[in-house]
Structure 1
Amino acid sequence: MDFDFSAILLGLTVLFGVVWGLDRLLFYKKRKAKADAAGQDVQDPVPVDWARSLFPVVLVVLLLRSFVAEPFRIPSGSMMPTLDVGDFILVNKFAYGLRMPAFNNKFVSLGEPKRGDVVVFRFPGYLCEVDGKTVRSGDQSCADPQAPVQGQNWIKRVIGLPGDHIEMHGDQLLINGQPIAADEVGPYVGNPKRDESRLMLEMGATVWNEHLPREDGSVINHLTARMPAYNRPPPIPNERVPSVVPQGCYLVMGDNRYNSTDSRWWGCMPEQNLAGKAFLIWLSWKGTDAGWVDFSRIGRLIH
């Protein structure tokens, strides 16, 4: 089951605030007058005492997570070698604007994603056709186009901006007609005790330094992994992904190009699904069989 922690925090904040506020408006004065008449200190009922104590704490956490920075844990290997399974990251929640907690409606615009940004977003679902209309479904095969989309947070890299012409054929990425250069770094080196690393080692994965151009003329250099022996993602364009990125959408991919369920499979990522920009690894948990914590990754900036 997927829990929306922001929704839980919002619900608790409202609950504690309402309990505390109603008590102060309707019951506190009578309770205080009665205690004063008896020469005693006023005592709040246990639920009210808890609400009064927890309300400011939960409110501060909600505000920090919603508008400043939110922690996430990397659950899969789709962003390797940039991000490993078990990396705990911080996401800048105001990089692209302020959004309402839980509802994710933007009410203050502060910018838009740039090509090369690593972004966290709400998984939009797979594109299916129903009676001539395109719908988002949680079923990849579209056998059940009405299947609900799980409320999961995903992380990928922005490759295509609205209006960009994108092509992807095997390892070759083209943006607005220009081939994107990449230099081979060497074979992937990882810990065979970890499932994701073992898969990449068995499939003969190689690491590449990709030079992704930005709209301002600068270049983002980042690592990608290739292992064509493992999988063949769909090319771009395909039946779900047009060559031109629609307005209000972004085309995103994982850095582990052959092991990432990204825009090549389910289409563009709608702007309203954005959660924020990943910027820092604050902990990297490797597990009890693989060295516990990787201290070399702690504090590493994400780019």
Structure 2
Amino acid sequence: MGLLTAALYACLIVYLGGWYLGEWHGNFSLLLFVLTLVTLVYWLAERLHFRPARERAAASVETHHAVRRNDLARQGIAEVDGNIDEAKQRLLMQPWWLDWTAGLFPVICIVFLLRSFLFEPFKIPSGSMVPTLLVGDLILVNKYHYGVRLPVINKKIVANEDPKRGDVMVFRYPKDTRIDYIKRVVGVPGDQVAYLNKRLFINGQPVPTESLGEYYDEDSRRYSQHFSETFGGNEHRVLTNKDAAPFIVGADDFPYRDQCSYTAEGVTCKVPAGHYFVMGDNRDNSQDSRYWGFVPDENIVGKAFWIWMNLGNLGRIGGFK
């Protein structure tokens, strides 16, 4: 069993190393699920087989020691050399391969359940959501806000709230579901969303917008036009680049693309049932629904709601709109 456990750990190290080096995309939910199952098998084996066997061995040693003492006592020998306590402790001691498997099961199981059904941490990898979220922000995502979903397969089993305009949502990238994206929900099923000449329109009505001057992005080291937008009952900030063209360059072929029309002014889309139109707050630095299409409901991961850490700026900790 020790060799088998060492081989399993070697496979885990290779998988994590390749993931870290970018040789392949990792699926942390699947990894946690597999680790939970494997450590559960070890935990059950420990409770049902290995620990009882060790306890029987320790009890046998104690029984034989007691028999030997009685035999010696009948011969008039009162003092017996040796102390079996150390031997019993060694027999009862859990081997390393059980310490690092069965011993970890409760922790891994709790993490798996919390991450699958309650809250999941994410790190913001790019500037597409600046100024709302900055590169390096560590955020929490509410996994049950949009309904309870089975881990790994992401199938909804209990409905809850539907995504609303203005929500900051984490979802599986439709072009590669192994990758998680984060954007703001702009259009819900049935909406007509238009982004024309860098102005957002929902169902034919312009979204209320107020200029806030310029915004300096320390990561990109450039100034952008800074605005506040209000829709979905909430106000949030967005950025645009005055030098960027309004039209969309390089839009992919995607499901329901016939619901979108592209012109020199921008794009207009009718959001199909069961889908959502999302955009980054950094409008000219975001690959989003304008380029790769709508987000299906089955791709939704959860609602982002809290920055729990930014190692470069502790003042970032807190909620966001």
Greater mean deviation of Cα atoms: 42-51 or 76-85: 42-51
Q: Deviations over 1:145-175 (max 9, x none)?
A: xxxx261111000000011111221212211
The residue number in structure 2 matching 1:138 is none
- Offset, 1:31: 3.7
Q: Deviations over 1:99-151 (max 9, x none)?
A: 122221111112111110000111111xxxxxxxxxxxxxxxxxxxxxxx261
Matched, 1:19 2:42: yes
Off by >4 Å, runs of 4+ in structure 1: none
Matched, 1:254 2:273: no
- Offset, 1:23: 3.9
8 A Cα contact 2:226 2:237, kept in partner: yes
TM-score normalized with structure 1 length: 0.79
Secondary structure, counterpart of 1:38 in structure 2: helix
Secondary structure, counterpart of 2:260 in structure 1: coil
The residue number in structure 1 matching 2:107 is 57
Matched, 1:9 2:32: yes
The residue number in structure 2 matching 1:172 is 199
8 A Cα contact 2:123 2:139, kept in partner: yes
2:210 partner amino acid: D
User: In 1, distance between residues paired with 2:306 and 2:247?
Assistant: 29
The residue number in structure 2 matching 1:78 is 128
User: In 2, distance between residues paired with 1:160 and 1:150?
Assistant: 21
User: In 2, distance between residues paired with 1:296 and 1:60?
Assistant: 30
Greater mean deviation of Cα atoms: 17-26 or 64-73: 17-26
1:256 partner amino acid: N
User: In 2, distance between residues paired with 1:206 and 1:104?
Assistant: 38
**Structure 2 gap segments, 5+ residues each:** 1-21, 63-87, 250-258
Greater mean deviation of Cα atoms: 267-276 or 223-232: 223-232
- Offset, 1:71: 1.1
Question: Cα gap change, 1:242/1:232 in structure 2, threshold over 3 Å: closer, same or farther?
Answer: closer
Secondary structure, counterpart of 1:15 in structure 2: helix
- Offset, 1:46: 2.6
8 A Cα contact 1:180 1:210, kept in partner: yes
8 A Cα contact 2:196 2:246, kept in partner: no
User: In 2, distance between residues paired with 1:75 and 1:29?
Assistant: 49
Q: Deviations over 1:53-90 (max 9, x none)?
A: 10000111111111221111111110111111111111
User: In 2, distance between residues paired with 1:233 and 1:9?
Assistant: 42
The residue number in structure 2 matching 1:156 is 183
Aligned length: 258
8 A Cα contact 1:233 1:265, kept in partner: no
2:160 partner amino acid: L
The residue number in structure 1 matching 2:296 is 270
TM-score normalized with structure 2 length: 0.75
Residue of structure 1 aligned with 2:310, choices 268, 284, 291: 284
- Offset, 1:27: 4.4
The residue number in structure 2 matching 1:69 is 119
- Offset, 1:295: 2.6
The residue number in structure 2 matching 1:186 is 213
**Structure 1 gap segments, 5+ residues each:** 126-148, 286-292
The residue number in structure 1 matching 2:269 is 243
Q: RMSD value over aligned CA atoms?
A: 2.1
Question: Cα gap change, 1:31/1:284 in structure 2, threshold over 3 Å: closer, same or farther?
Answer: closer
Secondary structure, counterpart of 1:224 in structure 2: strand
User: In 2, distance between residues paired with 1:115 and 1:269?
Assistant: 13
Question: Cα gap change, 1:281/1:168 in structure 2, threshold over 3 Å: closer, same or farther?
Answer: same
The residue number in structure 2 matching 1:302 is 320
Question: Cα gap change, 1:19/1:83 in structure 2, threshold over 3 Å: closer, same or farther?
Answer: same
User: In 2, distance between residues paired with 1:234 and 1:83?
Assistant: 24
8 A Cα contact 1:75 1:86, kept in partner: yes
User: In 1, distance between residues paired with 2:47 and 2:40?
Assistant: 11
Listed as ranges, the matches of 1:125-164 within 5 Å are 125=175, 149=176, 151-164=178-191
The residue number in structure 1 matching 2:239 is 225
8 A Cα contact 1:114 1:158, kept in partner: yes
Secondary structure, counterpart of 1:225 in structure 2: strand
Determine which structure has the larger helix proportion and give its number: 2
The residue number in structure 2 matching 1:234 is 248
Percent identity reads 43
Structure exhibiting the larger radius of gyration computed from Cα positions: 2
User: In 2, distance between residues paired with 1:79 and 1:233?
Assistant: 20
